[in-house]
């Protein structure tokens, strides 16, 4: 599910205004993140489309979330992400099925 979220507060006027500005910054960051993820799958997605989608609760099934770029894959079990149940104890990390690539940092001389 994606949506704009909501704010509620009881405070003085200046604090209310400050929180309003912060809420707007957070919402814009959220739109940017959604747009980047969705454009990776469909370059035609626009910021306006993301804003429209967030204007009310938009609920997606797991496969649909993957199709539009908001999820990487559908997880069936904890083993899918590299965790294995340990006799009722806490989960312990195991080798993952998906390899993540990392960029090597190089030093400048």
Task: Quote the CA–CA distance of 8 and 54 in Å, as a whole number.
Answer: 18
Across the range 22-30, mean pLDDT stands at 95
59 — pLDDT class (breaks 50, 70, 90) = very high
Q: Using alpha carbons, select from 30, 65, 20 the residue that is nearest to residue 51.
A: 30
Q: What is the mean pLDDT of the chain?
A: 82
Rounded Cα distance, 93 and 90, in Å: 10
Res 104 pLDDT > 80: no
| The model's pTM | 0.67
Cβ pair 82, 97 in contact under 8 A: yes
More confident site: 91 or 66 = 66
């Amino acid at each position: 599910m994606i949506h704009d979220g909501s704010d509620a507060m009881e405070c003085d006027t200046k604090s209310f205004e400050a929180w309003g500005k912060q809420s707007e910054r957070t919402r814009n960051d959220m739109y940017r993140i959604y747009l980047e993820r969705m454009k990776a799958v469909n370059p035609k997605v626009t910021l306006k489309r993301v804003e429209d989608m967030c204007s009310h609760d938009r609920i997606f099934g797991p496969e649909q979330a993957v199709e539009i770029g908001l999820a990487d894959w559908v997880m069936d079990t904890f083993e899918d992400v590299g965790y294995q149940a340990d006799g009722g104890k806490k989960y312990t990390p195991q080798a993952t099925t998906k390899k993540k690539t990392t960029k090597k940092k190089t030093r400048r001389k």
